[in-house]
Structure 1
């Protein structure tokens, strides 16, 4: 695992600014501080950076949702889809999988995005579609006329045949992935790297997320933020906390997040199990089900260590860059694209090994100097991951 390379710096924009740009995330997601949806956060940050450069960003959103981000020009559309079927269903996924194999196209996901795509303003010079590759059809390319960007933040091609992957990437002006890891999964599946496949790493708001003075002498707070589902591995953190408590009680674990991406009425079965597992630790562990975007910097500011115990191949991890910008040392699984962001100053463990995980946490709990040293190094690294650089790089790719 090579973690020595610095994050990619985007050179200044020398090509003409592409404007307006239309951005399309999940068709029923909120463009709001009240959701933990990473795509909405990313679109907001890119819209802010694009507008600061003198560009204009259209953000295509459903009129069934509340949207409160100020950046970008909202373009609302009315959906013909039933309110009882606002999520892409398992049946539709199965049908699309079969059609992808037999016909080379995915009609359900194309229909799912039809109303949103029809609302894209005619004067948009580029359209960015997030993750839903099946929405990038020949018909879209013909009707839109501008440059189409497929922005990949997840491994969306798991069930796709190589020929189908090639066709959809060929339809785009550029396809971008958030890490070398994610781009390599595509290359491995199709046997070669398309000329228009590029890595466009996420930025981070280093003004909002920044180091703050931390109190000395009290328990060390180990923070976890994210979607609380099994593949995010919070149960591994709880197991490590049990092991750590046998060595010291000078720590507190704070788990922030819920099973969904917004406040929920109740706890999932997994969340309930986490609380049962943590109960013997008493006040060493606490849970906060949801925090909106505006309050997150304060949450990071109250922590001393960040834990990322994921048990899947995380393509990037928005919370990792936020922790880095906040000056926190990070203990993480060496999965997916995370090492590309953390580099050599991250601490890597197999989170399934509770003893090794506790060892890494204990080193940081016991050594304030180690926490400060690693936190400063990660903050410096985060400062190179700007949204301005992210958008500048996208402008260059669109101008090529």
Structure 2
């Protein structure tokens, strides 16, 4: 692993983070939400971090945060090229088409002024790390992993990638341990920086938990996220005057025809006694208000989630939360969230019935969730990130905003 002293320059106050998401990232990607939160926190601390992105993809960012990237040459859209790139990577340890994606995106970008370059996510991380690792002379290079690294990377490729990085940042200890198992040993580049939430943006109602019988599910609609498990559970709930709000679409954008799975959800909802609202995709700016009006939040994921940021946001909003005990969720949820198997529809339905009818239990669980979320703020996330990248003396420690 490269020594940080050999590639970084400047005093602590000069050390700027340049976030570099996958060049072909979707403008609605949750990865950009995390980057936006980190940039906002940096700005509040008087630190001028930036994001390297095409302006149209980064419309959510303040203009002064953006260093414009060029339009990437995305050869990976061609299936034959993608297959050849994969085979070539296995054979000689290079993925030319993936590297071209990053090379073309950086055309005209002055890397001489970069202090710390942080790649974010994507299945193309191997090519990006190889290209930028070979080019660097003075900047630090890290990779911020919000999902599991692609299974297409074998152990040899993973080790080669980690050897080119100063840090490979995982958003949960669960993901870090899983990567250690794939690599075969505790690589020194592996570190954990838990996600955070702004508790002033996501906060409870001033008068306390909304005691109306309202339940919310939020996410990218698909079977692996479990919205159908909630509807199945409500079949076993004796309460019938509930309102279930499903926020999201099959992609990170509004509009478009409902997917077959969404149509299936509509059909299931029509068979239930309560009311189900399908409100579609909503921009993140509307999410705090939507959550604040709920009583219960459900996160019945069928995946080993890297973290589960929307659950943390619901906790910060003071909702009574029910979730799957999978992936990184138990690390931050612990006893502040009811963890259960969403496949057990009777237990799930009974839990929802209890929280819908017991005002005291729902309120106490919501307060417990809020208190736990205050341990995972964006302030602490950003301080931890700077500590990892530059050392503890550079990490800001402001008074927490509650």
If the TM-score is normalised by the length of the shorter chain, which range does it land in? 0.7 to 0.9
Superposed, 1:1-400 pairs within 5 Å as 16-17=12-13, 19-29=15-25, 35=28, 37-65=29-57, 67-70=59-62, 73-79=65-71, 81=73, 88=77, 91-118=80-107, 119=109, 121-132=111-122, 133-145=125-137, 146-212=139-205, 213=207, 218=212, 220-244=213-237, 247-281=238-272, 283-400=274-391
2:119 aligned counterpart, secondary structure = strand
Summarize the Cα distance change of 1:153–1:289 in structure 2 as closer, same or farther, 3 Å threshold: same
Summarize the Cα distance change of 1:342–1:71 in structure 2 as closer, same or farther, 3 Å threshold: farther
1:259 aligned counterpart, secondary structure = coil
Q: CA deviation at 1:195?
A: 1.1
1:127 aligned counterpart, secondary structure = strand
Q: CA RMSD in A?
A: 2.2
Report if aligned partners of 1:44, 1:72 keep a CA contact under 8 Å in 2.
no
Gapped runs of 5+ residues in structure 1? 1-14
Summarize the Cα distance change of 1:354–1:90 in structure 2 as closer, same or farther, 3 Å threshold: farther
Report if aligned partners of 2:216, 2:244 keep a CA contact under 8 Å in 1.
yes
Q: CA deviation at 1:375?
A: 1.0
Summarize the Cα distance change of 1:21–1:324 in structure 2 as closer, same or farther, 3 Å threshold: same
2:12 aligned counterpart, secondary structure = coil
Summarize the Cα distance change of 1:276–1:90 in structure 2 as closer, same or farther, 3 Å threshold: farther
Q: CA deviation at 1:352?
A: 1.3
Runs ≥4 residues deviating over 6 A: none
Summarize the Cα distance change of 1:89–1:323 in structure 2 as closer, same or farther, 3 Å threshold: farther
Report if aligned partners of 1:364, 1:371 keep a CA contact under 8 Å in 2.
yes
Query: 1:323 & 1:268 partners in 2: Cα distance?
Result: 26
Query: 2:48 & 2:356 partners in 1: Cα distance?
Result: 46
TM-score (norm 2): 0.87
Query: 1:141 & 1:333 partners in 2: Cα distance?
Result: 38
Q: How many residues align?
A: 376
2:131 aligned counterpart, secondary structure = helix
Q: CA deviation at 1:72?
A: 5.1
Report if aligned partners of 1:38, 1:318 keep a CA contact under 8 Å in 2.
no
Summarize the Cα distance change of 1:72–1:347 in structure 2 as closer, same or farther, 3 Å threshold: farther
Query: 1:149 & 1:378 partners in 2: Cα distance?
Result: 32
Query: 2:208 & 2:244 partners in 1: Cα distance?
Result: 16
Q: CA deviation at 1:17?
A: 4.2
Query: 1:387 & 1:253 partners in 2: Cα distance?
Result: 29
Gapped runs of 5+ residues in structure 2? 1-10, 392-402
Q: Which whole-Å deviations, capped at 9, do the CAs of 1:238-267 have from their partners, x for residues lacking one?
A: 1112222xx111322111000101113221
Greater relative CO (CA pairs within 8 A, separation 6+): 1
Correspondence for 2:4: none
Report if aligned partners of 1:136, 1:168 keep a CA contact under 8 Å in 2.
no
